[in-house]
Amino acid sequence: MPAKAQAAFLTPNHGKCAKGYKLTTLGQQGPEGKRGKAGEPGGEGRPGPEGPQGPEGADSFNAEQREKLKLLLPHMTFIASGVGGDPTIQFSGVNVQVVSGAGTTQVVNGEGNLVIGYDENEGHHAQTGSNTLVLGGEQTFTSYAGIVAGFDDSITAPFAAIAGGARNTVEGGYSTILGGTERTELGEYEAEL
């Protein structure tokens, strides 16, 4: 090979060719050949070092909300093995109040109800009442300040209550059915034991 650019190309015997060969001059460099096929991808490299921790995210609470949380959280405790050995949230040193937001009990807006359980409603019963305690399933409640418990019961008057049973109906205000099946109370201030 030439020792430097533009130098002569010499054979190993400095211009003397082996028998059967003859010395010719080298021409200029030809054009670049076509690119060959891409090779097989190599194996995956080792993971690099872990990067530095990013900045802390923005707080989504405003100052007023943070102050409310500071007042609320001391009264709440999460107990991993609480009632019945199950996860439980416990409120301590406070009352728990559920309201409809209407500013008074005697307004029906479908809110402010405390439902314990799932209150399955496959029968599409009217559940438009407010400020009512609801337990069981398939219940109907369309007024306010009532209690309905059991299965497929109906209270449609203010301050009415059904304490249990199935398919009972109270349509009179301030009236109560304590239990049983398919009992009806139409009058006001009545009670069926």
As a whole number, the mean pLDDT across the chain is 90
Q: Out of 50-54, 101-105, 176-180, which region has the weakest mean confidence (pLDDT)? A: 50-54
For 135-157, what is each residue's pLDDT tens digit? Answer: 999 999 999 999 999 999 999 99
Q: Does the pLDDT at position 96 exceed 60?
A: yes
Q: Does the pLDDT at position 5 exceed 70?
A: no
* 116, β-bridge pairs: 135
User: How far, CA to CA in Å, does 171 sit from each of 127, 155, 162?
Assistant: 15, 6, 11
List alpha helices for 26-183, DSSP H: 63-72
* Sequence-separated (6 or more) residues with CB below 8 Å from residue 101: 109, 111, 112
**Percent over 70 (pLDDT), the chain:** 87
Q: Listing from the earlier edge strand, what are the strands of the sheet with 154-155?
A: 140-141, 154-155, 169-170, 184-185
Q: What pLDDT score does 9 carry?
A: 56
Query: Considering the entire predicted model, what is its pTM?
Result: 0.67
**Percent over 90 (pLDDT), the chain:** 72
- R_g of the chain, CA atoms, integer Å: 43
Contact 176/192 with Cβ under 8 angstroms?
yes
Q: What pLDDT score does 7 carry?
A: 62
Contact 120/140 with Cβ under 8 angstroms?
no
